[in-house]
Amino acid sequence: MTQLALIIDLNVCVGCSACVTSCKEWNTSGPAGFMSDDNPYQKDPNGTFFNRVQTYEVGEFPKTETVHFPKSCLHCEEPPCVPVCPTGASYKREKDGIVLVDYDKCIGCKYCSWACPYGAREIDEHQKVMKKCTLCVDRIYDESLPEAERKPACVLACPTNARLFGDVHDPDSHVSNLIREEGGYPLMPEWGTQPSNHYLPRRKTRFTIHQDELVRVDNPLNKEQKQHHEPVTSPTLDDNSFI
Amino acid sequence: MTTSVIHDATKQPEGRIENKNTTCYMCACRCGIRVTLRDNEVRYIQGNPDHPLNKGVICAKGASGIMKQYSPARLTKPLMRKPGSDRGDAEFEEISWDKAFGIMEERLAEIRATDPKKFTLITGRDQMQALTGMFAKNYGTPNYSAHGGFCSVNMAAGMIYSIGGSFWEFGGPDLERSKLFVMIGTAEDHHSNPMKIAISQFKRNGGRFISINPVRTGYSAIADEWVPIKPGTDNALILAIVRELIETGLYDRDFLQDYSNAGQLVNCDESSEEHGMFVRMQVDAELGCFDEQNQLWWDRHTNKAVRTHTKDADPFLLGEFTLDDGTPVKPSFQLLKESVEEYTPEWAEKVTGIPADTIRRLAHEMGIVARDEKIELPIAWTDTWGREHQSVTGNPVSFHAMRGLAAHSNGFQTIRGLSILMSILGTIDRPGGFRHKAPFPRPIPPCAKTPRGPEGVQPNTPLGGMPLGFPASPDDLFLNDDGSPVRLDKGFSWEYPLSAHGLMHNAITNAWRGDPYKIDTMMIFMANMAWNSSMNTAEVRNMLNDKDDNGEYKIPFLIVADAFHSETVAFADLVLPDTTYLERHDVMSMLDRPISEFDGPVDSVRVPVVPPKGDCKPFQEVLIELGSRLKLPAFTNEDGSRKFRNYPEFITNFETEPGSGIGFLAGWRGKGGEKFMKGEPNPNQWEMYEKNNCVYQYHLPASYQYMRNWNQGYLTWAQDHRLTRYDEPINIHIYSEVLQKFRLAAQGKRPGRQPPAHLRKRVEEHFNPLPFYSETLEGRLTDTQKYPLNALTQRPMAMYHSWDSQNAWLRQIHAHNYMHVHPSLGAKHGFADGDWIYVESMHGKVRCLARFSEAVEPGTVWTWNAIGKAKGAWNLSDDANESQQGFLLNHLIAEELPTNECGEHISNSDPVTGQAAWYDVRVRVYKAEDDADCTLPQFDSMKVLPGMSTRRKWLGYFAGKFDKKGAK
């Protein structure tokens, strides 16, 4: 069974928010209709976004890490948002594991958003339906797009390629390899939701200096020694030998 | 909204779809984009996968272009200030373009016929300088300045005067091959997508990334190591590293010997007029702008002086010697060694706050990686001395820096220091190090020069030189006979001799004061001088509105060209509504700042993908029209008739001189598009760009891609294709004879032009031919007991300068800014995270919100740049977060230094280049009283102007149905 998902590499995410607005621009004109923005030019602008980047500081100066953390629907294997839906609008596709909302059935009761431990759902106040990441289901199967572009908008946009897309059930897929080899982890697995999206942790490259690397025989300073010296004026054996 | 919710999640909504390629301009990066339209409205903007710059990616700004296009802050009509209203009141009436042109034509023709320097053109955009600069030159005014003067001219000048190239458009770190990458200071908003792509690949390739920055945001977040540093002390760190590299022998001796002036002998006879100059086989008169190869080395084998690059000679880089005529001489590398002697790691620790052991380790990491991780590419090439090389080698240590180093008054020398660090590691134009981009490298300094005196400015005559240039000696300064500046901003005078981009941050103050003279008309394009582009913002706003005793404005006429309802528009007498980037033709030209790649020249164009809104007119077209009406030579046929109908026709047909074959665009030249770089105009050039993703890229042969300062093949190619005048080697200036010429003049040892008495010490100190550390000018003049902290801005990746305050999506990421402070400051001064505080400098104070952060050096406070806006501007409501919780740091920063031994009204700028010293300000912080419930200062609300659309209470953007719905 296919399970499509995003792998987010925190080792290269610089928190630029390209994924945030690319998602918005693609989806606001998509099959689900607009994604509204309240107070777009007033106090406290607040709109519907399927994907947001949160930034955290970890540790104390000077040992501080600044972590950029993009978050969207994790397309759980056991999505808690599905069973709580009173109308059956919230569902998980068998075909590819994408969790979707059927907007015709959604009554905007918000049960699903209360059930989601990740805060990944957003009610659209003007359409009165619950919305969330669809993994750009309207792109990834669209044969009118070049094959290389049949990917979620956030993945295409990401300048650091921190967002990778694929089938996490296929053990040979690039994303499965990354999860296995680079320490990919799900968010809050203790809740039994089995998120399909995974995160790759920060990795550090360090450099070890060996003392002998600082004292090499080919040290260029050696070349600066003068090769010719003036004759000495004090006595030498040259002047006093009786041979 | 009637858009219905659709059940089928994969079905695309109905509508007529079109795709068009063009070039982004949501920031200065200039990525290729593909714009999808649905029923003529923008449905999707994606990175063009076939574009060499961004390779398909896009950033948060680029993906939000839709909200710029349909912003209610857009101006749509030419506007004239209502008679009787004051500037700043924003009381305007609509006029026709014909009337607007008539007003400008009459006024500018009169000025041009009498005293052309009374017209000043300021452009906040410096990627169409080829057009704006050419307009100014043709008009005949010296008073043209560009964004670089207050942004990063120190970076451009510091590196160009050292290695013949610079970061961003002109060169950068080769992260594909690099193994150690060091980024110093804030640099997020220049070359942003290419840098993001490259840093990610670099990290995945196992490279090590060190970030040196007072603040850990942006790219620094993913650095393997963050080294916090006190602002403005970068050169103390850099020179301590240079010292350690020399002490331990971790420098690339072979590279320095062959490719720099490290081994060249400097005259050390203090009594000589030639003191500090290279000894030459013969001293020629003016040589133009290249190094005559007639300096001397001291040869190790023969123990005597020989001409540089004598076959089999092997120069000493260290030592002291005496020429046959008794002249004491030293190789310039010896002088460098001596000059950094005092910069021990322990000394630098006290200045920078970085532990001495860390400084040593950084030096050792750089030196060992450069030496032991060498790259060798099997690429044969020939150097300018005729030596054939079987391979290209590289030392894979690379650097990147922009404003963090540049925006200090010691920035020029700091960037000289960085250039020298990069050079002694042997990393210039080599794989894994720094690599040039065409048209660089250029001679040191480049050939462009301003006029030298007032005779260069004549009525009804083009300027007798370039409006901006690169002086090679005091003789190249632009001075009146009495030594006073010819330019309004005092650029290229003894106050700021190498001000290669001008000082637009002083133009308004100087014009208001009438020092050095009064002007008549100031035209401001895309520069928000009444807000975030000015230092001392509140006073500058007053100056724009100030009148003399006769009730006349001190700056009589202000023309503002802008696409949006910016703060500056309120002060205009005449407003010209510009288009957005999606509505116009435009070029990223080889004549100013193209988008070249390491492996060859690249330029590109914009083409309109949607029609202009209302009566908007591209500023390009405004200049063509004005130039034609004023009959400026570049726009006029010999019989006096108009030469070009419009901008596209101008771009196609313009040649730098008749028959030169050099124009704005390098691609598809020649009658059939068969030539590049140089060739006769091609009537179908625009179409050919359009068919090719709006970009032209040329890949140099591999043997021309490296070591270009000394690569005979490349230099000959560059000369053949007219990128450069000379094919002489461009040796790295470890020691700057150019600077020494200014110093000798200041010391009274050089015949010819000399600085006025009050500037002698300043010029002598700062025109040190070797980089040195000095405290910033503002720091020296501040009571640092009272104002102990440094205050900085950083650049958010999702917002570029002020351009997107009206952007409904981007303002949801940054609607207001905080002052980020280390918690220890809160503990000391009794305020908590989220409290209102005052931040005060000796020039003023702002009331703002504090945000505690552990990711900042505790002696530094910082905020995001240009998020705060004036009330009502950009068509935001009066209670919008930008004005009520957001703030500008600019209110704390003066455009002039306090009166000091160099005189009054000296710019708060680098004394070499005139670069605005934004990051020098010193402050203190304390808890704010309960005196307001918003940030302070506040300004009267800016009115909505005629022709602007109403701001909606909520948006539901859906391409194809949006504008038809009208305002809600």
State the DSSP string of B690-706: HHTTTEEE-PPPGGGSS
The residue in chain A having the minimum alpha-carbon distance to the alpha carbon of residue B367 is A214
| Gap from A71 CA to chain B (nearest CA, Å) | 14
Query: Token match 């030019």: residue?
Result: A41
pLDDT at position B194? 96
Q: What is the pLDDT of residues B338-391, one digit of tens each?
A: 999 999 999 999 999 999 999 999 999 999 999 999 999 999 999 999 999 999
Q: State how far the Cα of B168 lies from the Cα of B400, in Å rounded to an integer.
A: 9
pLDDT top residue among A105 and B803: A105
Q: Considering only CB atoms, which chain B residues are within 8 Å of A35?
A: 956-957
Contacting B residues, span 243-302, partner chain A, CB-CB under 8 Å: 248-253, 300-301
Q: What are phi and psi of B928, to 5 degrees?
A: -80, 145
Q: Of B63, B222, B319, which is closest to A25 when you measure between CB atoms?
A: B63
pLDDT at position B670? 96
Q: What is the pLDDT of residues B123-172, one digit of tens each?
A: 987 678 999 999 999 999 999 998 888 888 999 999 999 999 999 889 99
Contacting B residues, span 326-365, partner chain A, CB-CB under 8 Å: 361, 364-365
Question: With contact defined as beta carbons under 8 Å apart, do B399 and B418 qualify?
Answer: yes
Q: State how far the Cα of B109 lies from the Cα of B111, in Å rounded to an integer.
A: 5
Among B558, B486, B472, which Cα is nearest to B516's?
Answer: B486
Q: Of B9, B199, B209, which is closest to A160 when you measure between CB atoms?
A: B199
Among B336, B172, B159, which Cα is nearest to B241's?
Answer: B336
Hey, are the CB atoms on A66 and B251 less than 8 Å from each other?
Answer: no
Q: Is A39 on the interface with B (CB under 8 A)?
A: yes
Whether residue A227 is predicted with pLDDT greater than 70 in this model: the reply is: no
pLDDT at position B128? 87
pLDDT at position B445? 95
Pair of tokens at residue B285? 């008169």
Q: Considering only CB atoms, which chain B residues are within 8 Å of A11?
A: 203, 222
The pLDDT confidence band at residue B5, using thresholds 50, 70 and 90, is very low
pLDDT at position B343? 98
Q: Is A199 on the interface with B (CB under 8 A)?
A: no
pLDDT at position B287? 58
pLDDT at position B361? 98
Q: Is A6 on the interface with B (CB under 8 A)?
A: no
Whether residue A185 is predicted with pLDDT greater than 60 in this model: the reply is: yes
Q: How many CB atoms lie within 10 A of CB B920?
A: 30
Q: Is B490 left (phi over 0), alpha (psi -120 to 50) or beta?
A: left
Q: State how far the Cα of B866 lies from the Cα of B232, in Å rounded to an integer.
A: 21
C-alpha distances in Å from residue B767, one per residue of B265, B474, B752, B910, B913: 19, 11, 17, 11, 11
Hey, of B812, B949, B961, which one would you mutate to test binding to chain A, going by the most A CBs within 10 A of its CB?
B812
The pLDDT confidence band at residue A32, using thresholds 50, 70 and 90, is confident
Query: What's at B502, amino acid-wise?
Result: G
Segment B203-232 mean pLDDT:
97
Q: Residues with Cβ < 8 Å from A94, sequence gap 6 or more?
A: A1
Query: Is B710 strand, coil or helix?
Result: coil
Pairing label, strands A37-38, B922-927: unpaired
C-alpha distances in Å from residue B264, one per residue of A119, A203, B299, B307, B335: 66, 45, 11, 9, 11
CA pseudo-torsion sign B235, B237, B238, B243: positive
The pLDDT confidence band at residue B10, using thresholds 50, 70 and 90, is confident
Query: What secondary structure letter does DSSP report for B753?
Result: -
pLDDT at position B111? 98
Question: With contact defined as beta carbons under 8 Å apart, do B209 and B200 qualify?
Answer: no
pLDDT at position B2? 40
Taking one residue from A and the other from B, the number of pairs with CB-CB distance under 8 angstroms is 286
Q: Of B207, B361, B954, which is closest to A205 when you measure between CB atoms?
A: B207
CA angle B66, A18, B221 (to 5 degrees): 150
The residue in chain B having the minimum alpha-carbon distance to the alpha carbon of residue A15 is B218
pLDDT top residue among B350 and B965: B350
Q: State how far the Cα of B561 lies from the Cα of B563, in Å rounded to an integer.
A: 7
Q: State how far the Cα of B560 lies from the Cα of B558, in Å rounded to an integer.
A: 6
Pair of tokens at residue B166? 């610079």
Whether residue B861 is predicted with pLDDT greater than 50 in this model: the reply is: yes
The pLDDT confidence band at residue B967, using thresholds 50, 70 and 90, is very low
DSSP string, B529-572: TTTTTSSSHHHHHHHHT-B-TTS-BSS-EEEEEESB--GGGGG-
Query: Token match 């109403």: residue?
Result: B950
pLDDT at position B284? 59
Q: What is the pLDDT of residues B266-305, one digit of tens each?
A: 999 999 999 999 999 876 555 566 777 899 999 999 999 9
CA torsion, points B651, B653, B654, B659, in degrees to nearest 10?
150
The pLDDT confidence band at residue B195, using thresholds 50, 70 and 90, is very high
Q: State how far the Cα of B526 lies from the Cα of B863, in Å rounded to an integer.
A: 23
| Gap from B491 CA to chain A (nearest CA, Å) | 37
Residue B196: burial class (beta carbons within 10 Å; 0-12, 13-18, 19+): buried
Contacting B residues, span 160-189, partner chain A, CB-CB under 8 Å: 180
Q: Is B815 on the interface with A (CB under 8 A)?
A: yes
Whether residue B864 is predicted with pLDDT greater than 50 in this model: the reply is: yes
The pLDDT confidence band at residue A236, using thresholds 50, 70 and 90, is confident
Q: How many CB atoms lie within 10 A of CB B722?
A: 15
Hey, are the CB atoms on A44 and B38 less than 8 Å from each other?
Answer: no
| Gap from B318 CA to chain A (nearest CA, Å) | 6
Among B414, B220, B239, B409, which Cα is nearest to B862's?
Answer: B220
Q: Of B4, B7, B954, which is closest to A37 when you measure between CB atoms?
A: B954
Hey, are the CB atoms on B43 and A207 less than 8 Å from each other?
Answer: no
pLDDT at position B146? 86
Hey, are the CB atoms on B193 and A226 less than 8 Å from each other?
Answer: no
pLDDT at position A228? 63
Q: Considering only CB atoms, which chain B residues are within 8 Å of A153?
A: 44, 46
Q: What is the pLDDT of residues B79-107, one digit of tens each?
A: 999 998 999 888 999 999 999 999 999 99
The per-type count for chain A, helices as H runs and strands as E runs, is: 6, 11
Hey, are the CB atoms on A42 and B361 less than 8 Å from each other?
Answer: no
Q: Residues with Cβ < 8 Å from B568, sequence gap 6 or more?
A: B524, B527, B528, B529, B530, B531, B533, B560, B562
Q: Considering only CB atoms, which chain B residues are within 8 Å of A57?
A: 853-855
Q: Is B950 on the interface with A (CB under 8 A)?
A: no
Please tell me whether the interface predicted TM-score (ipTM) of this complex is above 0.90. yes
pLDDT at position B3? 43
Query: Token match 């290669």: residue?
Result: B500
Q: Residues with Cβ < 8 Å from B406, sequence gap 6 or more?
A: B151, B152, B153, B154, B155, B158, B415, B915
Cis, bond preceding A195 (omega within 30 deg of 0): no
Q: What is the pLDDT of residues B700-756, one digit of tens each?
A: 999 999 999 999 999 999 999 999 989 999 999 999 999 999 999 999 999 999 999
Query: What secondary structure letter does DSSP report for A153?
Result: H
Hey, of B10, B220, B246, B372, which one would you mutate to test binding to chain A, going by the most A CBs within 10 A of its CB?
B10
Percent of chain B scoring above 70 in pLDDT: 98
Query: What secondary structure letter does DSSP report for B256?
Result: H
pLDDT at position B8? 78
